[in-house]
A = this chain, B = another copy of it.
Amino acid sequence: MSGSIFGKHFTISTFGESHGPAIGVIIDGCPSNIPLSKEDIMKNMVRRKPGNAKIATSRKEDDDVEILSGLFEGKTTGTPICLMIRNTDHRSHNYDAIKDIYRPSHADYPYSMKYGNRDYRGGGRSSARETAARVAAGSIAMRFLEEMGIHFKAYTKALGPISVSDEEMNLNEISNNLLSMPHAVKAEEAINYIGQMKTEKDSIGGVIECQITGMPVGIGEPVFDRLDAILGQAIMSINAVKAFEVGSGIASAQMKGSEYNDAFYTHTAPQYGENGHESHGFVGTHYKTTPSIHKRTNHSGGILGGLSDGSPIVLRAHFKPTPSIAQTQHTINTHLENVDIAIEGRHDPTVVARAVVVVEAMAALAIADLLLQGATSKLEQVKAAYCK
Protein backbone atom coordinates (compact mmCIF):
# COMPACT_ATOMS: atom_id res chain seq x y z
CA MET A 1 0.00 0.00 0.00
CA SER A 2 1.21 3.48 -0.76
CA GLY A 3 -0.07 5.71 1.92
CA SER A 4 -3.70 6.12 0.98
CA ILE A 5 -4.85 3.65 3.61
CA PHE A 6 -5.29 4.65 7.26
CA GLY A 7 -6.22 2.51 10.23
CA LYS A 8 -5.86 -1.18 10.96
CA HIS A 9 -9.36 -1.87 12.30
CA PHE A 10 -11.54 1.01 11.16
CA THR A 11 -9.64 1.19 7.89
CA ILE A 12 -10.12 3.84 5.25
CA SER A 13 -8.75 3.79 1.74
CA THR A 14 -9.06 7.05 -0.21
CA PHE A 15 -8.71 7.81 -3.89
CA GLY A 16 -8.98 10.66 -6.31
CA GLU A 17 -7.25 13.68 -7.74
CA SER A 18 -8.63 17.18 -7.66
CA HIS A 19 -9.16 17.13 -11.39
CA GLY A 20 -10.06 13.53 -12.10
CA PRO A 21 -13.63 12.24 -12.45
CA ALA A 22 -14.22 11.70 -8.72
CA ILE A 23 -12.72 11.36 -5.29
CA GLY A 24 -13.88 9.07 -2.52
CA VAL A 25 -13.16 6.55 0.16
CA ILE A 26 -13.88 3.00 1.27
CA ILE A 27 -14.37 2.35 4.97
CA ASP A 28 -13.63 -1.28 5.87
CA GLY A 29 -14.16 -2.49 9.41
CA CYS A 30 -17.05 -0.28 10.48
CA PRO A 31 -19.25 -2.34 12.79
CA SER A 32 -22.75 -3.24 11.64
CA ASN A 33 -26.01 -1.86 12.97
CA ILE A 34 -24.95 1.77 13.30
CA PRO A 35 -27.79 4.04 12.19
CA LEU A 36 -26.46 6.17 9.35
CA SER A 37 -27.96 8.58 6.87
CA LYS A 38 -26.53 10.65 4.06
CA GLU A 39 -27.36 13.69 6.17
CA ASP A 40 -24.83 12.53 8.81
CA ILE A 41 -22.16 12.96 6.17
CA MET A 42 -23.45 16.03 4.33
CA LYS A 43 -23.64 18.15 7.47
CA ASN A 44 -19.87 17.86 7.76
CA MET A 45 -19.18 18.24 4.05
CA VAL A 46 -20.93 21.61 4.24
CA ARG A 47 -18.65 22.68 7.09
CA ARG A 48 -15.61 22.00 4.90
CA LYS A 49 -16.67 24.55 2.31
CA PRO A 50 -17.79 27.82 3.95
CA GLY A 51 -18.47 29.38 0.59
CA ASN A 52 -17.80 32.85 1.91
CA ALA A 53 -15.99 35.15 -0.49
CA LYS A 54 -14.13 36.83 2.35
CA ILE A 55 -12.22 33.78 3.39
CA ALA A 56 -12.66 31.02 0.84
CA THR A 57 -12.07 30.30 -2.82
CA SER A 58 -14.88 30.78 -5.25
CA ARG A 59 -14.53 27.21 -6.40
CA LYS A 60 -17.98 25.76 -6.02
CA GLU A 61 -18.45 22.05 -5.78
CA ASP A 62 -21.61 20.44 -4.63
CA ASP A 63 -19.57 17.79 -2.83
CA ASP A 64 -22.59 15.58 -3.05
CA VAL A 65 -21.66 12.29 -1.43
CA GLU A 66 -23.06 9.12 -2.97
CA ILE A 67 -23.14 6.05 -0.70
CA LEU A 68 -22.28 3.16 -3.01
CA SER A 69 -22.29 0.26 -0.53
CA GLY A 70 -22.41 -0.95 3.04
CA LEU A 71 -25.74 0.57 4.02
CA PHE A 72 -29.03 -1.33 4.14
CA GLU A 73 -32.32 -0.15 5.56
CA GLY A 74 -30.70 2.83 7.29
CA LYS A 75 -27.97 0.93 9.09
CA THR A 76 -24.41 -0.07 8.38
CA THR A 77 -24.16 -3.72 7.35
CA GLY A 78 -20.61 -4.34 8.60
CA THR A 79 -19.24 -4.60 5.05
CA PRO A 80 -17.24 -1.92 3.23
CA ILE A 81 -18.87 1.47 2.84
CA CYS A 82 -17.86 3.31 -0.31
CA LEU A 83 -18.50 7.04 -0.54
CA MET A 84 -17.96 8.84 -3.85
CA ILE A 85 -17.94 12.54 -4.68
CA ARG A 86 -17.88 13.62 -8.31
CA ASN A 87 -15.56 16.45 -9.23
CA THR A 88 -17.82 18.90 -11.00
CA ASP A 89 -15.74 22.05 -11.25
CA HIS A 90 -12.50 21.31 -12.98
CA ARG A 91 -11.40 24.33 -15.01
CA SER A 92 -8.21 22.43 -15.84
CA HIS A 93 -7.23 25.05 -18.38
CA ASN A 94 -6.48 27.43 -15.51
CA TYR A 95 -3.44 25.42 -14.70
CA ASP A 96 -1.65 25.76 -18.01
CA ALA A 97 0.39 28.71 -16.76
CA ILE A 98 2.05 26.61 -14.06
CA LYS A 99 2.35 23.41 -16.07
CA ASP A 100 6.14 23.67 -16.27
CA ILE A 101 6.84 25.41 -12.99
CA TYR A 102 7.73 23.99 -9.59
CA ARG A 103 5.73 26.29 -7.30
CA PRO A 104 7.50 27.27 -4.05
CA SER A 105 6.33 25.28 -1.00
CA HIS A 106 4.06 23.17 -3.17
CA ALA A 107 4.46 19.44 -3.77
CA ASP A 108 5.09 19.76 -7.51
CA TYR A 109 8.79 19.14 -7.37
CA PRO A 110 9.00 16.03 -5.14
CA TYR A 111 5.90 14.48 -6.75
CA SER A 112 7.48 14.82 -10.19
CA MET A 113 10.70 13.25 -8.98
CA LYS A 114 8.92 10.46 -7.12
CA TYR A 115 6.56 9.30 -9.83
CA GLY A 116 8.36 10.38 -12.98
CA ASN A 117 5.25 12.16 -14.23
CA ARG A 118 3.51 15.45 -13.69
CA ASP A 119 -0.19 15.86 -13.01
CA TYR A 120 -0.12 19.65 -13.14
CA ARG A 121 -3.88 19.97 -12.76
CA GLY A 122 -4.23 21.36 -9.28
CA GLY A 123 -1.83 19.22 -7.35
CA GLY A 124 -3.30 15.76 -7.87
CA ARG A 125 -3.25 13.82 -4.63
CA SER A 126 -1.48 16.64 -2.79
CA SER A 127 -4.46 18.92 -3.32
CA ALA A 128 -6.55 19.90 -0.32
CA ARG A 129 -9.49 18.58 -2.31
CA GLU A 130 -8.45 15.16 -1.06
CA THR A 131 -9.57 16.13 2.43
CA ALA A 132 -13.19 15.91 1.27
CA ALA A 133 -12.83 12.13 1.33
CA ARG A 134 -11.43 12.32 4.85
CA VAL A 135 -14.38 14.37 6.05
CA ALA A 136 -16.81 11.91 4.47
CA ALA A 137 -15.10 8.96 6.16
CA GLY A 138 -14.63 10.87 9.40
CA SER A 139 -18.35 11.54 9.51
CA ILE A 140 -18.98 7.82 9.74
CA ALA A 141 -16.32 7.48 12.43
CA MET A 142 -17.96 10.29 14.37
CA ARG A 143 -21.39 8.70 13.93
CA PHE A 144 -20.00 5.44 15.33
CA LEU A 145 -18.22 7.15 18.22
CA GLU A 146 -21.32 9.15 19.04
CA GLU A 147 -22.99 5.78 19.74
CA MET A 148 -20.10 5.11 22.14
CA GLY A 149 -20.69 8.46 23.88
CA ILE A 150 -17.64 10.21 22.38
CA HIS A 151 -17.91 13.74 20.98
CA PHE A 152 -15.61 16.03 18.98
CA LYS A 153 -15.35 19.80 19.00
CA ALA A 154 -12.70 21.64 16.99
CA TYR A 155 -12.28 25.39 16.56
CA THR A 156 -9.81 28.02 15.38
CA LYS A 157 -7.56 28.86 18.30
CA ALA A 158 -5.46 31.36 16.37
CA LEU A 159 -5.35 32.99 12.96
CA GLY A 160 -1.91 34.46 12.38
CA PRO A 161 -1.30 36.94 15.19
CA ILE A 162 -4.88 36.82 16.49
CA SER A 163 -5.34 34.12 19.10
CA VAL A 164 -7.90 33.21 21.73
CA SER A 165 -6.50 32.27 25.13
CA ASP A 166 -7.95 29.44 27.23
CA GLU A 167 -9.48 31.99 29.54
CA GLU A 168 -11.16 33.93 26.74
CA MET A 169 -12.69 30.92 25.02
CA ASN A 170 -16.46 30.61 24.65
CA LEU A 171 -17.28 27.42 22.81
CA ASN A 172 -20.82 28.65 22.14
CA GLU A 173 -19.42 31.19 19.71
CA ILE A 174 -17.94 28.55 17.42
CA SER A 175 -21.00 28.16 15.26
CA ASN A 176 -21.53 31.92 15.01
CA ASN A 177 -18.63 32.72 12.71
CA LEU A 178 -17.08 31.40 9.54
CA LEU A 179 -13.78 30.67 11.22
CA SER A 180 -15.29 28.55 14.01
CA MET A 181 -13.51 30.81 16.47
CA PRO A 182 -14.60 30.59 20.11
CA HIS A 183 -14.70 34.36 20.56
CA ALA A 184 -17.00 36.81 18.76
CA VAL A 185 -14.75 39.88 18.65
CA LYS A 186 -11.57 38.02 17.74
CA ALA A 187 -13.42 36.18 15.02
CA GLU A 188 -14.38 39.46 13.41
CA GLU A 189 -10.82 40.70 13.80
CA ALA A 190 -9.52 37.54 12.18
CA ILE A 191 -11.91 37.74 9.25
CA ASN A 192 -10.79 41.32 8.65
CA TYR A 193 -7.20 40.16 8.82
CA ILE A 194 -7.93 37.60 6.12
CA GLY A 195 -9.41 40.36 3.99
CA GLN A 196 -6.19 42.31 4.49
CA MET A 197 -4.17 39.29 3.34
CA LYS A 198 -6.24 39.15 0.16
CA THR A 199 -5.46 42.80 -0.48
CA GLU A 200 -1.78 42.21 0.15
CA LYS A 201 -1.85 39.17 -2.18
CA ASP A 202 -0.59 37.18 0.76
CA SER A 203 -1.75 34.33 2.99
CA ILE A 204 -1.59 33.44 6.68
CA GLY A 205 -1.31 30.41 8.98
CA GLY A 206 -3.32 29.47 12.05
CA VAL A 207 -3.98 27.04 14.87
CA ILE A 208 -6.89 24.64 15.29
CA GLU A 209 -7.63 23.03 18.66
CA CYS A 210 -9.85 20.01 19.19
CA GLN A 211 -11.47 18.66 22.34
CA ILE A 212 -12.75 15.12 22.54
CA THR A 213 -15.03 14.18 25.42
CA GLY A 214 -16.57 10.96 26.64
CA MET A 215 -13.46 8.85 26.06
CA PRO A 216 -13.34 5.45 27.73
CA VAL A 217 -10.19 4.84 29.77
CA GLY A 218 -7.46 2.80 28.08
CA ILE A 219 -7.84 3.64 24.38
CA GLY A 220 -4.48 3.53 22.62
CA GLU A 221 -1.92 0.77 22.32
CA PRO A 222 1.44 0.73 24.10
CA VAL A 223 4.62 1.77 22.37
CA PHE A 224 4.03 2.68 18.71
CA ASP A 225 0.26 2.97 18.43
CA ARG A 226 -0.14 5.22 21.43
CA LEU A 227 -3.19 7.39 21.19
CA ASP A 228 -1.04 10.51 20.90
CA ALA A 229 1.20 8.87 18.27
CA ILE A 230 -1.70 7.83 16.04
CA LEU A 231 -3.41 11.19 16.55
CA GLY A 232 -0.04 12.69 15.65
CA GLN A 233 0.10 10.77 12.39
CA ALA A 234 -3.54 11.56 11.64
CA ILE A 235 -3.19 15.29 12.22
CA MET A 236 0.28 15.69 10.68
CA SER A 237 -1.11 13.99 7.55
CA ILE A 238 -3.44 16.95 6.95
CA ASN A 239 -2.16 19.31 4.28
CA ALA A 240 -0.23 22.31 5.62
CA VAL A 241 0.08 21.08 9.24
CA LYS A 242 3.61 21.69 10.51
CA ALA A 243 3.24 21.00 14.24
CA PHE A 244 1.11 18.93 16.58
CA GLU A 245 0.54 19.26 20.31
CA VAL A 246 -1.29 17.27 22.97
CA GLY A 247 -2.37 18.85 26.25
CA SER A 248 0.16 21.42 27.40
CA GLY A 249 2.26 20.44 24.37
CA ILE A 250 5.06 22.84 23.58
CA ALA A 251 4.72 24.47 26.98
CA SER A 252 5.47 21.16 28.71
CA ALA A 253 9.12 21.41 27.74
CA GLN A 254 9.54 24.42 29.99
CA MET A 255 7.57 23.06 32.93
CA LYS A 256 8.75 21.40 36.12
CA GLY A 257 7.26 18.09 37.20
CA SER A 258 5.67 19.75 40.20
CA GLU A 259 3.81 22.12 37.89
CA TYR A 260 3.00 19.66 35.14
CA ASN A 261 1.79 16.56 36.95
CA ASP A 262 -1.99 16.16 37.02
CA ALA A 263 -3.08 15.19 40.53
CA PHE A 264 -5.77 12.55 40.80
CA TYR A 265 -8.49 12.88 43.45
CA THR A 266 -11.76 11.23 44.21
CA HIS A 267 -14.99 13.08 43.88
CA THR A 268 -16.29 11.83 47.17
CA ALA A 269 -13.35 13.24 49.11
CA PRO A 270 -12.87 16.70 47.62
CA GLN A 271 -10.38 18.04 50.11
CA TYR A 272 -7.97 18.89 47.29
CA GLY A 273 -10.38 21.29 45.66
CA GLU A 274 -12.63 20.99 42.68
CA ASN A 275 -11.98 23.91 40.43
CA GLY A 276 -8.79 22.47 38.98
CA HIS A 277 -10.67 20.29 36.60
CA GLU A 278 -12.15 23.27 34.84
CA SER A 279 -8.91 24.20 33.19
CA HIS A 280 -8.54 24.43 29.43
CA GLY A 281 -11.90 26.08 29.03
CA PHE A 282 -14.05 23.02 29.47
CA VAL A 283 -16.13 21.99 32.42
CA GLY A 284 -16.58 18.59 33.87
CA THR A 285 -13.41 16.60 33.57
CA HIS A 286 -14.56 13.14 34.50
CA TYR A 287 -13.96 9.48 33.80
CA LYS A 288 -16.66 7.58 32.08
CA THR A 289 -15.86 4.21 33.58
CA THR A 290 -15.19 5.47 37.09
CA PRO A 291 -17.19 8.66 37.57
CA SER A 292 -15.71 9.22 40.99
CA ILE A 293 -12.13 9.86 39.79
CA HIS A 294 -11.02 13.36 38.80
CA LYS A 295 -7.83 15.16 37.92
CA ARG A 296 -7.08 18.65 39.20
CA THR A 297 -5.47 19.65 35.91
CA ASN A 298 -5.24 18.21 32.43
CA HIS A 299 -1.74 19.08 31.26
CA SER A 300 -1.56 15.57 29.82
CA GLY A 301 -4.43 16.38 27.44
CA GLY A 302 -6.29 13.25 28.44
CA ILE A 303 -3.49 10.84 27.56
CA LEU A 304 -1.20 9.00 29.99
CA GLY A 305 1.45 6.60 28.72
CA GLY A 306 -0.20 6.76 25.32
CA LEU A 307 -3.59 5.64 26.65
CA SER A 308 -6.70 7.72 27.22
CA ASP A 309 -7.22 8.48 30.90
CA GLY A 310 -10.91 9.34 30.56
CA SER A 311 -10.49 13.10 30.77
CA PRO A 312 -10.97 15.21 27.64
CA ILE A 313 -8.41 14.81 24.88
CA VAL A 314 -7.02 18.21 23.89
CA LEU A 315 -4.89 18.55 20.76
CA ARG A 316 -3.70 21.35 18.53
CA ALA A 317 -2.68 21.52 14.86
CA HIS A 318 -0.50 24.35 13.55
CA PHE A 319 -1.08 25.23 9.90
CA LYS A 320 1.37 27.04 7.68
CA PRO A 321 0.06 29.76 5.35
CA THR A 322 -1.41 28.75 1.99
CA PRO A 323 1.52 28.47 -0.42
CA SER A 324 -0.35 29.87 -3.42
CA ILE A 325 -0.04 33.66 -3.33
CA ALA A 326 -0.49 36.27 -6.03
CA GLN A 327 2.72 38.05 -5.15
CA THR A 328 5.65 37.48 -7.45
CA GLN A 329 7.91 34.68 -6.22
CA HIS A 330 11.24 33.36 -7.39
CA THR A 331 11.36 29.70 -8.38
CA ILE A 332 12.49 27.27 -11.07
CA ASN A 333 10.81 25.44 -13.91
CA THR A 334 11.05 21.88 -15.13
CA HIS A 335 13.85 22.89 -17.48
CA LEU A 336 15.82 23.93 -14.38
CA GLU A 337 15.77 27.61 -15.20
CA ASN A 338 15.22 30.39 -12.67
CA VAL A 339 11.82 31.99 -13.27
CA ASP A 340 9.33 34.27 -11.52
CA ILE A 341 5.74 33.33 -10.81
CA ALA A 342 2.61 35.01 -9.46
CA ILE A 343 -0.09 32.46 -8.68
CA GLU A 344 -3.39 34.07 -9.66
CA GLY A 345 -6.76 32.46 -9.29
CA ARG A 346 -8.98 31.20 -6.53
CA HIS A 347 -6.87 30.43 -3.50
CA ASP A 348 -7.89 30.73 0.12
CA PRO A 349 -5.64 33.12 2.06
CA THR A 350 -5.84 30.57 4.86
CA VAL A 351 -6.68 26.90 5.10
CA VAL A 352 -7.81 27.18 8.70
CA ALA A 353 -11.49 27.90 8.19
CA ARG A 354 -12.09 24.83 6.07
CA ALA A 355 -9.73 22.61 8.04
CA VAL A 356 -11.64 22.69 11.34
CA VAL A 357 -13.87 19.80 10.33
CA VAL A 358 -10.90 17.97 8.79
CA VAL A 359 -9.18 17.97 12.18
CA GLU A 360 -12.30 16.53 13.78
CA ALA A 361 -12.53 13.92 11.05
CA MET A 362 -8.94 12.76 11.35
CA ALA A 363 -9.11 12.65 15.15
CA ALA A 364 -12.29 10.59 14.91
CA LEU A 365 -10.73 8.15 12.43
CA ALA A 366 -7.73 7.65 14.71
CA ILE A 367 -9.88 7.07 17.77
CA ALA A 368 -12.38 4.77 16.04
CA ASP A 369 -9.47 2.63 14.94
CA LEU A 370 -7.87 2.36 18.37
CA LEU A 371 -11.19 1.90 20.11
CA LEU A 372 -11.89 -1.18 18.00
CA GLN A 373 -8.40 -2.50 18.71
CA GLY A 374 -8.89 -1.89 22.44
CA ALA A 375 -12.10 -3.92 22.46
CA THR A 376 -10.06 -7.13 22.57
CA SER A 377 -7.40 -6.19 25.12
CA LYS A 378 -8.76 -8.48 27.81
CA LEU A 379 -9.97 -12.07 27.65
CA GLU A 380 -13.11 -10.86 29.43
CA GLN A 381 -13.85 -8.48 26.56
CA VAL A 382 -13.43 -11.15 23.92
CA LYS A 383 -15.72 -13.46 25.84
CA ALA A 384 -18.30 -10.69 26.27
CA ALA A 385 -18.31 -10.16 22.51
CA TYR A 386 -19.22 -13.77 21.79
CA CYS A 387 -21.38 -14.89 24.69
CA LYS A 388 -24.99 -13.97 24.96
Partner of A382 from the list B110, B160, B224, B372 (CB cut-off 8 Å) is: B372
Partner of A15 from the list B66, B82, B272, B310 (CB cut-off 8 Å) is: B82
Inter-chain contact A264/B104, CB cutoff 8 Å: yes
> A284 to chain B: which residues have CB within 8 Å?
none
Q: Which of A116, A125, A257 has the most CB of B within 10 A?
A: A257
**For the complex, what is the distance from the CA of A382 to the CA of B148, rounded to whole Å?**
9
> A345 to chain B: which residues have CB within 8 Å?
none
Given A230-B233, A384-B385, the answer on whether A69 and B23 have CB atoms closer than 8 Å is yes
Inter-chain contact A331/B223, CB cutoff 8 Å: no
Inter-chain contact A375/B379, CB cutoff 8 Å: no
**A53-61, A73-81, A174-182 - the one binding chain B:** A73-81
Q: Which of A5, A116, A224 has the most CB of B within 10 A?
A: A224
**For the complex, what is the distance from the CA of A137 to the CA of B249, rounded to whole Å?**
27
> A377 to chain B: which residues have CB within 8 Å?
2, 31-32, 78, 114-115
Residue-wise, chain A 274-300 has the 8 Å CB interface mask toward B (1 for contact) of 000000000000000110110010011
Does any Cβ of B come within 8 Å of A330's Cβ?
A: yes
Q: How far is the CB of A109 from chain B (nearest CB, A)?
A: 6
Q: How far is the CB of A209 from chain B (nearest CB, A)?
A: 12
Interface size for A (C-beta < 8 A) is 174
**For the complex, what is the distance from the CA of A203 to the CA of B102, rounded to whole Å?**
48
**A6-14, A39-47, A165-173 - the one binding chain B:** A6-14
Does any Cβ of B come within 8 Å of A217's Cβ?
A: yes
Inter-chain contact A31/B376, CB cutoff 8 Å: yes
Inter-chain contact A289/B388, CB cutoff 8 Å: yes
Ordered by A's residue number, 10 sampled pairs between the chains whose C-beta atoms are within 8 Å are A4-B223, A5-B5, A8-B8, A14-B80, A106-B304, A206-B253, A224-B233, A228-B237, A372-B382, A381-B384
Inter-chain contact A78/B378, CB cutoff 8 Å: yes
Does any Cβ of B come within 8 Å of A235's Cβ?
A: yes
**For the complex, what is the distance from the CA of A202 to the CA of B327, rounded to whole Å?**
51
> A245 to chain B: which residues have CB within 8 Å?
242-244, 318
Given A125-B223, A383-B148, the answer on whether A258 and B202 have CB atoms closer than 8 Å is yes
Inter-chain contact A243/B237, CB cutoff 8 Å: no
**For the complex, what is the distance from the CA of A253 to the CA of B241, rounded to whole Å?**
9
